[in-house]
Structure 1
Amino acid sequence: MSPEQKAVLAVLLIPAFASLLSVSSVNVLLTVIQESLGASASGLQWVIAGYSLVFGVLLVAAGRAGDVLGRARLFVIGLTLFGLGSLGCALAGSISLLNLSRVVMGVGAGLFNPQVTGMIQRVFPGPMRGRAFGWFGAAIGVSIALGPVMSGVLLQVLGDDVGWRVSFAVNTPIAAAGVLAAWKVLPASTWRGASTQEAPGAPGTPGLQGTGAQPVGGGPLRADVDPVGMLLLATSMLLLMLPFVSLGAEASGLASALGGVACLGAWTAWERWYLARGREPMVDLRLFSRRSFSGGCLVIAVHFFGTTSIWIVVAQYIQQGLGRSALTTGIVGLPSALIGAVLAPVVGRYVLRAGRAMVLTGIGVVIVGLAVSAWAVEIQIDDSHGVWVLALTLTLVGIGQTLVVGPNQTLSLMDVPLRYAGTAGGVLQTGQRLGTAMGVAVISSLAFTVAASSGWERALIISVLAIIASLLVAGAVAVVDIVGARRETRTD
């Protein structure tokens, strides 16, 4: 990897890291924010929900816009909004202003995150792409684990009121530096729309050949951002995610989910019709005919359903069950994050050689790490060293996630044409966000229910068993993908 490519990767990954850090770090801040701003329970809950909703809803639409208009442009616009929203959070004098600023942060994060995967696809060819996505996976894993550590340290050092504000404010100089660096470092090709550089179905465009879909009149497809498709998909994602990130009635949540499914069906029909009319749809649904892409989307969605939740449950167990501080809670996840960062570049070198078997191995390692952690809690390691034993066992989770997230990204996008890199990356990340929202809602609800009757020790064990069950599903999908790849090899 050349010095120029390393510089590009740093410019892309540092803001992506900050955006995901803002998801996990806020969990430790909720109590002090409530006291500082006098927030109600519903207002406090939207500190998380507003960011997550807007972030998840915009990913695919932003990916498509970047493909058509230029990924670097959308990256800079999104990063600017993210920095301004973070500053607004730090200065907020009421919960309403805080939530409004969190929405601005979510818009920014939703705009620039799919550009990261799209530009990695374009800038890093062959095996280097695997290494780059390895670092991307490490950034995700480290941000999830490091967020609570950062917040805990700031609260400990600066005090509650100043500490939570600074935890938001740190994003602003990162965003400003990222914008300046982007102008200097990102290649000229990333500032131009990719759609004009590669025709779908043309020679050398893997994944969309031989599908039989032809534009009306036999002419070339006309590229645009497909605004109707964007609106339909954004609405469906909003309706699907809303029941899992808000405290609404069960009936309204069910109605929202059903509306989301209906909207998703309408979007699918529209995209097919749009393609048949000779236009280029927001998402070419023929992408999902590629086993590597569709399987990878499902694997990562189910994986995030379980693994994101474990850190929330562990935090509650340590704070509520063992009575430890927020700082101690954050430090427990630090070894897992560090080992993931160390392994990421090594894993990236071998992903193309190992294939989906690496992802399956990673899922297995996460399951072992969770099982050992649950066993450690079961034998009541609640003395002065118990928390650190848990930190040690959870390092296996960090190792496993490193083998899953980055490699899955590489393998899933391997056959995707460059013109669709941002869109496809947005689809993958939307799966992550939807899986995360559903998993946090389901696993957290299970944990709090069990804790109310049996305590946090039992709640952690039951939650881990539920997470392991979800990971077994992800493993089964990976097995199907491996078997399919071997059949294709024998056929060829």
Structure 2
Amino acid sequence: MATVAVAPEEGCGTVTQRDEPDPRRWQALAVCLIAGFITLLDVSIVNVALPSIREGLGASESEIQWVLSGYALTFGLALVPAGRIGDARGRRMMFMTGLALFTGASALCGAAQTSQWLVLARLLQGIAGGILTPQVSALIQQMFSGRERGRAFGMFGTVIGISTAVGPLLGGLIIKVFGAEEGWRWVFYVNLPIGILAFALAWRLLPGPDHAHRACLRELDPIGVLLLGSGVVSLLLPLVEERQWKGPAKWLLVPVAAAFFGVFVLWEIRQGRHGRKPVVDLALFKVRSYTLGLLVMLFYFAGFTSIFFVFTLFFQSGLGYSALLAGVAITPFALASAVGASIGGRLVNRFGHTLVTGGLVLVAVGLGGAILAVYEVPGQAAGWALVAPLVCAGLGSGMVISPNQTLTLAEVPPVQGGAAGGVLQTGQRIGSAMGIAAVGAVFFSQLAAVHGQDWAGPLRHGLVVSVGFVLAAFVVAFLDLRKERTPVPAEAGRGGTRVTR
């Protein structure tokens, strides 16, 4: 049974519990998924609005890049600390804080009068998304157990896949309705009514904390937060700025990031030895399913996110599609991903990591088919030729994201769900940045070699790199699949999911 807490969320101390499922858990899940959808949607929806933003605000290429990368950077920075604070101080409080901040930042983005204003508002919006997102996976662990948790994570996986894939379509549709000059503002304004409604419902439906002791703010390891944040920024910055920051000097930040992470690990070990609560319990990484699942997500998101990056460029700049038509062309992936996630959520308890490895095979096959389709069908008809490969890849993607998330968090105690989910989401953000940097470097170098005369060739080379990342995820998933299959206790960590691994 999921534990329901009935004490108020303010102050340190204890909470009273009753050991029964929350009767409003499915309504609460709907609120979580709506809020999670809009925060993840803003990772991709802005792509198709960039030409309108550049024209409307007179933004430079560097500022346009920061509209995209600034959101990803601060999003990744906030994930783990926000997850830890949610575990310690209450996920409902952190969820509502992040949602209110995200809604306000969206209003600031839409009202921007200068490009600098928009960049700063996007940085704030990214922080808000990073505060909110880890609370979703933690609340799912708190509210659900057993097969219900698999279904809930299946729905969350659907949201992750669809929000990323459908962003270009929604962005193109909004710009079509409101016009190229002001349409980009409504890409942000659309978050306002959704955010306000979700905030009101969250206040009423989300549960309080599920653990007996609630840490004071002084117990939240500020030095650990600073070290981890410095490492994340040092690693993400050269990745998200790969095209704009010329020269090799930016890659010197990678060893700097490694040093920060090394000091962070030593500090967290010291925290544990002194009986203090660390930001991330390093014992999590002794759990094989968690560590391998995290690596699967990192490599998969490197391949998964980069797909939409190169396809959006190919359709709009290469084939001359409008923003709306480019979004429509990518929609088969989004629809198939929703179907795959629904299947994955229902079957994950039965098939475990076999489902994930099978999904990765489908993604690789679908991307291979896309490479062949673009080669065989040149010109604007390529959009039609790509439908079947994108359906195959999308179906596989849905069978990867939500089942892998369920399996990765299955043996994590719910009391650590926010921090564990934050680390998992951080891995996704790092993977996304890594994939876009690598695929973008190959794509643009090939485009420069042909002087922009042939977009299909660079697309094929970029997709080969994406397939490489997907295959790396497959290798990691296969290692987990080969592990001796043993049952996870039905109530692992008080409410764990029963999955045969």
- Using structure 2 for the length normalisation, give the TM-score: 0.89
2:273 counterpart of 1:276? yes
The answer to whether 1:232 aligns with 2:227 is yes
Q: Which amino acid aligns with 2:236?
A: M
Amino acid of the structure 2 residue aligned with 1:24? S
Instruction: State the 1:141 CA deviation.
Output: 0.9
Aligned to 2:203: 183
**Distance in 1 between the 2:384 and 2:217 partners?**
58
The aligned amino acid for 1:477 is V
**Is the 1:223–1:280 contact (alpha carbons within 8 Å) kept by the matching residues of 2?**
no
Within a 5 Å distance, the mapping from 1:246-261 to structure 2 comes to 246=241, 247-261=244-258
**Partner amino acid for 2:195?**
A
| Superposed counterparts of 1:237-386, under 5 Å | 237-246=232-241, 247-382=244-379, 385-386=381-382
Give 1:209's aligned residue: none
**Which deviations, in whole Å up to 9, do the C-alpha atoms of 1:432-470 show, x marking residues without a partner?**
000001111110121111122232111111111111111
Gaps of 5+ in 2: 1-20, 489-500
Matching residue's letter, 1:442: A
The residue that corresponds to 2:12 in the other structure is none
Query: After superposition, where does 1:15-164 map in structure 2 within 5 Å?
Result: 15-164=35-184
SS at match of 1:280: coil
What letter is aligned with 2:245?
G
- Tell me how far 1:41 sits from its aligned partner: 1.1
Alpha-carbon distance between aligned partners in 2 of 1:73 and 1:337, rounded to the nearest angstrom: 32
Letter in 2 for 1:433: R
Deviation at 1:258, TM superposition (A): 1.5
Amino acid at match of 1:460: L
Paired residue secondary structure (2:280): coil
CA 1:101–1:80 in structure 2 vs 1: closer, same or farther (change >3 Å)?
A: same
State the distance in 1 between where 2:252 and 2:205 align. Answer: 47
Instruction: Summarize the Cα distance change of 1:2–1:337 in structure 2 as closer, same or farther, 3 Å threshold.
Output: farther
Matched letter for residue 312 of structure 2? A
Q: How far apart are 1:315 and its partner, in Å?
A: 1.4
Is the 2:77–2:127 contact (alpha carbons within 8 Å) kept by the matching residues of 1? no
Name the CA distance, whole Å, in 1 between partners of 2:402 and 2:214: 27
In the TM superposition, residue 11 of structure 1 has moved relative to its aligned partner by 0.4
Q: Deviations over 1:370-409 (max 9, x none)?
A: 01111111112435x4312213320112111110100011
Deviation at 1:50, TM superposition (A): 1.2
Aligned residue identity for 2:213: T
How far apart, CA to CA, are the structure 1 residues paired with 2:318 and 2:70?
29
Letter in 1 for 2:461: I
Cα distance in 2, alignment partners of residues 472 and 251 from structure 1? 28
Q: Residues of 1 paired with 2:337 and 2:212: CA distance? A: 35
Structure 1 residues 128 and 488: CA distance shift in structure 2, 3 A? closer
- Unpaired runs of 5+ residues, structure 1, are 199-220
C-alpha distance in 2 between matches for 1:451 and 1:298: 31
Match of 1:406 in 2: 402
Distance in 2, matches of 1:350 and 1:3, equals 24
1:166 counterpart = 2:186: yes
Contact 2:378/2:456 (CA < 8 Å) preserved in 1?
no
Equivalent residues of 2:268, 2:278 under 8 A apart: yes
Q: Aligned with 2:46: secondary structure?
A: helix
Once residues 51 and 130 of structure 2 are traced to their aligned partners in structure 1, the CA distance between those partners, rounded to angstroms, is 26
Question: Do the aligned partners of residues 391 and 296 (structure 1) sit closer, same or farther apart at CA in structure 2, a change above 3 Å counting?
Answer: same
* 8 A contact 1:131–1:346 mirrored in 2: no
Q: Is the 8 A contact 2:447 2:455 kept in 1?
A: yes
Residues 320-329 or 98-107, more deviating: 320-329
Alpha-carbon separation, structure 2, partners of 1:479 and 1:39: 46
Pairing partner for 1:433 from 404, 429, 432: 429
Deviations 1:25-45 (A, max 9, x none): 111111110110001111111
What is the Cα deviation at residue 120 of structure 1?
0.3
The 1-side partners of 2:158 and 2:396 are apart by: 11
The 2-side partners of 1:123 and 1:316 are apart by 41
Is the CA contact 2:22–2:143 (under 8 Å) kept in the aligned structure 1? no
> What is the rounded CA distance, in whole Å, between the counterparts of 1:24 and 1:41 in structure 2?
18
Q: Report the equivalent of 2:462.
A: 463
| Number of the residue aligned with 1:389 | 385
Instruction: Quote the Cα distance in structure 1 between the aligned partners of 2:484 and 2:125.
Output: 40
Change (3 A) 1:60 1:37: same
Aligned to 1:482: 481
Amino acid at match of 1:196: H
The sequence identity of aligned pairs, in percent, is 41
Deviation at 1:309, TM superposition (A): 0.6
Maintained 8 Å contact 1:222/1:280: no
Determine if contact 2:137/2:417 at 8 Å carries over to the other structure: yes
Could you report, residue by residue, the CA deviation over 1:96-119 in whole angstroms, capped at 9, with x for unpaired residues?
Answer: 110111111111101010000000
**How many angstroms apart in 2 are the aligned matches of 1:353 and 1:302?**
25
Q: Equivalent residue for 2:418?
A: 422
C-alpha distance in 2 between matches for 1:73 and 1:222: 14
How far did 1:297 drift? 0.3
Q: Which amino acid aligns with 1:236?
A: G
Residue identity opposite 1:30 in structure 2: L
Report deviation, 1:341.
Answer: 2.1
SS where residue 149 of structure 1 aligns? helix
- CA RMSD in angstroms comes to 2.1
For 1:114 and 1:15, how far apart are their aligned partners in 2?
11
Deviations 1:160-180 (A, max 9, x none): 122100011111111111111
Per-residue CA shift, 1:65-103, capped at 9, x if unaligned? 000000110000000010000000000000011011111
Deviates more, 1:312-321 or 1:43-52: 312-321
Provide the C-alpha distance between the structure 2 equivalents of 1:144 and 1:133, rounded to a whole number of angstroms. Answer: 17
Distance 1:242 1:2 in 2: 42
Moved over 4 A (4+): none
Matching residue within 186, 191, 213 for 1:196: 213
Describe the superposition over 1:262-296 as per-residue Cα deviations: whole angstroms up to 9, x where unpaired.
Answer: 00000000000000001111111011011000000
CA distance, structure 2, for counterparts of residue 175 and residue 79 of structure 1: 7
- Three-state SS of the structure 1 residue aligned to 2:213 is helix
